[in-house]
Each structure stands twice: as C-alpha cells, then as structure tokens.
Amino acid sequence: MAQISQLYIYPVKSLGGIALQQAQVTSRGLQHDRRWMLIDNNNRFLSQRSHAQLALFALAVTSVGIVVTYKPTHATITIPYQPQTNEKITVSIWDDSCSATVVSEEVNQWFSHILQINCRLVYMDDDDLRPVDPKYAAPGLITSFSDAYPMLLIGQSSLDDLNGRLSQAVSMDRFRPNMVIKGTAPYEEDRITHFTAGHINFYGVKPCARCVMTTIDQGTAIGGAEPLKTLSGYRKANKKIYFGQNLIHDGDGIIKIGDIIEVKKLGTELNLNSN
C-alpha cells in the first residue's frame, strides 16, 4: 500500500529544505514553499547551479517568520512573513517573469555580506500570480518561485534503486522533492498521472528533468559527478535526465506522513535511453 513517507518545503528558493510531519496544500503548492527568492542585480533568480554556497543555509518555520542560519558561522536572521517594504519589482525565473516585493534592506545586506555578492530577497505576495505552463496545466493554475510546477513527487524505492547503482549513496535532499512516497515500485511515479492523498487530487503532468544541482552535497556544498553520471546511463531521454514527477493539484487541505496514496490512473512508461 503506497503512502506518504516524507514531506518537505523550501521557503527560500535553492536554500535548505524543512522536513514536515504535515503540510497545508494551497493553490500554489505547499504553504510557504518557495515564496521567497534571492535575486541578482538583474532581478534574476539565484540558485545552487551557480552559487553552491546556498546549500549551507538552514531554515526553520517559526511564529514570527522564517529563521535562516548560515551553518558555517551560525549567523542567523529572521525573514518576516510580510515584506517590510512596498517596493514591487519584476523578477525572472528561467523564461518566466512575475511580480515580487523586496523584503527588507536588512535582509538584503545580510545575504549580500555572506555571499559576497549584491543580492536581494523578494517575496511573492498573494496577489502575485505566476501561471503554470499551459501546455501541462489548465488555465488558472499557479505556482510560486519553483522552477515550473507547484510540487515534486519522488518514490523512495526510486532513490533506493539509484543508490544500489552508486558506489556512494546520496540522500533524498539532492533532489528536493515536496512529497516522498513509499510502497511503490522503483520509478512508478513516472506513470502516475492521477492520485489522491488527504482527499486532494494530484496529477502527474511531466517527469522532472534533472540538472547539476543534484551533484551538490547539501551538507558541504561540494559538487561532484554523481548521481547525474549514473542516472544518465539509464534515465535519459531526448538529451535530458529524469528523476521524479512534477505535480499539479485540485483543491486544498492538509496532507501528512502516513496518508494513503490512492492511484487513480497510470500512464505509459517513459521512453528512456533514446539519447
């Protein structure tokens, strides 16, 4: 019987994740997930792809805001849930542009000092609407500062299978899922196009193409060749490497660890190893 085994949010895009026992599903995905984002002088998003050091920030949800700790120095700052400025700007995530609000000058200076670059932290307000790619979702569906979709699903057995092929195992945090499930066959999430959990409908709409970020150890911010090198040997199609399933959803409510996954519809297998 398939069930939810892990839940994660990543309040600030590309910074550390937070493991949850339960999560509130909202119109954009899990509550607080990727509602904040660091941007450069061109208002373009920062990520571990070019700034691996971002892996070294640990986050915690508190009653007054998101507490961020830079692990090497233990420096901390609290990001308030509501921005302290009224400065609205247009920001870029890949090919998308959307509106966001600068959080505060204090927060900007804190991150800029640690990262040794000029950067700002922005927040996606409730009235800032970023649509999901209409090729994969109905009009009106929105997401936050995620790469493209509200949530990411990975099966624990898929990671177990991958680790069986590696000389040194990697942890789930390399892949930054929101929902991890157990009780499914390896890579079964490739085919899951509709399931329910916590009375909410979820739809698998597009396998997740993976990038160099998966090669960064989230504890040390040091990169390597794996697991992309191994994944490329058996999870490649159309020059992309796939691991995990992007989700959209219908409805809101609470999901929690232990919730039963009821698969409603399965699609076709991925056509892998087609270069």
Model pLDDT for residues 206-244, shown as the tens digit of each residue: 999 999 999 999 999 999 999 999 999 999 999 999 999
Higher local confidence (pLDDT), 271 or 21: 21
Residues 97 and 156 in one domain: no
Q: What is the pTM of this model?
A: 0.97
- What is the distance between the terminal CA atoms of the chain, rounded to a whole angstrom? 34
Residues 124 and 180 in one domain: no
| Domain boundary residue, one of 74, 104, 131 | 131
Residue 14 in domain = no
| Range(s) of the domain holding residue 191 | 3-7+133-266
44-101, pLDDT tens digit by residue?
999 999 999 999 999 999 999 999 999 999 999 999 999 999 999 999 999 999 999 9
CA distance 214 to 52: 11
Residues 216 and 101 in one domain: no
Residue 20 in domain = no
Token duo for residue 68? 């961020």
β-pair type (142-143, 130-131):
antiparallel
What was the pLDDT predicted at 274? 56
Residues 262 and 152 in one domain: yes
Distances (CA, A) of 25 to 21, 41, 207, 250, 269: 13, 33, 21, 10, 28
CA distance 212 to 207: 17
Residue 275 pLDDT level (bands cut at 50, 70, 90): low
Alpha helices in the chain (DSSP H): 105-115, 156-165, 228-231
**Most distant CA atoms of the chain, gap in Å:** 51
How many Cβ atoms sit within 10 Å of the Cβ of residue 63?
5
Residues 55 and 106 in one domain: yes
Number of domains in the chain: 2
Q: Residue 196: CB partners within 8 Å, gap ≥ 6?
A: 202, 261, 262, 264
The β-bridge partners of 223 are: 216
Q: Compute the chain's Rg from CA coordinates.
A: 18
Residues 70 and 143 in one domain: no
